[in-house]
């Protein structure tokens, strides 16, 4: 595994994920969260703990790219789409349905979490496929 490319790709995946999280959770689903405010912590309390979300997001990005790099086949963007789809199912399906089972939230919110989670993770798979490429033998010599 190319450590430098792994680190760079992981950081870029983290940044792209944060941008997508903002778009999804603030712009697209913001009104849904306001309508279900009784389910969530007060905003001030969430803001104080936001560092935990960023830290777990950063760790998640490094693990995501690590798994991608270990299975890297050099098949281009479609490899990233396939990887994102599989990891999306692995992550988004149990998270969204598990949350629906344990939190008294509308099913539409759980469905949105699943759908937007899949879209986000497929995009992150594409980012990983575009950025992560192991060192070629010619690069090792140079």
Q: CA 6, CA 61: separation in Å to the nearest integer?
A: 10
Q: Which residue has the tokens 């479609």?
A: 78
- pTM given for the model: 0.89
- Predicted pLDDT at 27: 96
Q: With bands split at pLDDT 50, 70 and 90, how would you rate the model's confidence at 140?
A: low
pLDDT tens digits along 46-94: 999 999 999 999 999 999 999 999 998 888 899 999 999 999 999 999 9
pLDDT tens digits along 25-46: 999 999 999 999 999 999 899 9
Q: With bands split at pLDDT 50, 70 and 90, how would you rate the model's confidence at 133?
A: confident
């Amino acid at each position: 595994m190319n450590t430098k490319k792994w680190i760079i790709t992981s950081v870029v995946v983290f940044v792209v994920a944060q941008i997508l999280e903002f778009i999804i959770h603030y712009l697209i689903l913001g009104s849904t969260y306001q309508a279900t405010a009784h389910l969530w912590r007060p905003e001030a309390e969430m803001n104080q703990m936001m560092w935990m979300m960023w830290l777990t997001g950063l760790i998640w990005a490094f693990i995501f790219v690590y798994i991608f790099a270990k299975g890297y086949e050099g098949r281009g963007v479609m490899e990233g789409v396939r990887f994102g789809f599989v990891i999306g199912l692995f992550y988004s399906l149990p998270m969204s349905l598990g949350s629906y089972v344990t939190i008294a939230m509308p099913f539409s919110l759980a469905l949105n979490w699943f759908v937007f989670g899949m879209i986000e993770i497929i995009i992150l798979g594409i980012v990983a496929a575009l950025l992560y490429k192991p060192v070629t033998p010619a690069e090792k010599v140079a």
